[in-house]
Amino acid sequence: MRFCLVPVLALLSCGGAPKSSDTARPVDQPLSDAALSMVSATRMQRLVDELADDSMGGRVPGSPGHEAAINIMLDEMVDIGLEPIGLEGDFLYPYPASDVSNFHQLDRDGNVSAAHAEVAYDLVGRVPGSDPMLADEHILVMAHHDHLGVEADGRVFNGAFDNATGCVAALELARVLMAHPPARSVIIPFSAGSAVGGGVELVA
């Protein structure tokens, strides 16, 4: 199953029609020009290039390259200041990995082998809502951080569009929202297993 990035900018901009019982409740306002000016195409390009680099070996779950990509994203989530809502008070939400043995990975020496993963990790962060009346309501933004590994001959499936760009767009949005929080909270899970046909686990 694949997931696309939710068009949150549009969602925040319109807010939708209020229910009759909620007419007195505040709604999220469009992001200001000052907030949108925080978006950095240079930063986004750099992160896409890092996540889709040949050295990541196609980011198949369980591989050294996938571990490296996760660490890059964790560093970004810390730098942004997202609230960690993983199982152990950090950003990580581990669960049993899907079978990836039909895919190939690069090991730490650059050799090709069958992919293997026992544990998969979703990375889950939260932008706390600014309005106490609405902060318990959540907008969900998702992207998957894994990809398809390498061919048997070592050629890399880089996965720039599937889905490094989705991850980077979600991170950039998170950076903006942490500086200009909406009334409602925003949960941002980066899932594993989506690219190779696995399921997605979410924090309740």
Q: What is the pLDDT of residue 193?
A: 72
2-16, 54-68, 118-132, 178-192: lowest mean pLDDT where?
2-16
Q: Tell me the average pLDDT across 90-118.
A: 93
User: Domain boundaries in the chain?
Assistant: 38-191
Q: Tell me the average pLDDT across 30-41.
A: 85
| Largest pairwise CA distance in the chain | 62
Strands 119-127 and 143-144, bridge-based pairing: unpaired
Q: What is the pLDDT of residue 30?
A: 75
Between CA 137 and CA 125 the distance in angstroms is: 15
Q: What is the pLDDT of residue 27?
A: 61
Between CA 173 and CA 167 the distance in angstroms is: 10
Considering the chain, what percentage of its residues have pLDDT values greater than 70? 80
Q: Tell me the average pLDDT across 120-129.
A: 95
- Other Cβ atoms less than 10 A from the Cβ of 150: the count is 24
Decide if pLDDT at 196 tops 80: no
What homologous superfamily is domain 38-191 in, according to CATH?
Zn peptidases (3.40.630.10)
Does residue 165 contact residue 57 with C-beta atoms inside 8 Å?
no
What is the residue-averaged pLDDT of the chain? Answer: 84
Q: What is the pLDDT of residue 179?
A: 93
Q: What is the pLDDT of residue 45?
A: 97
Question: Could you identify the residue written with the tokens 């082998």?
Answer: 113
Decide if pLDDT at 6 tops 50: no
Q: Tell me the average pLDDT across 181-189.
A: 94
Instruction: Summarize pLDDT for 61-92 with one digit per residue, the tens.
Output: 999 999 999 999 999 999 999 999 988 889 99
Decide if pLDDT at 19 tops 60: no
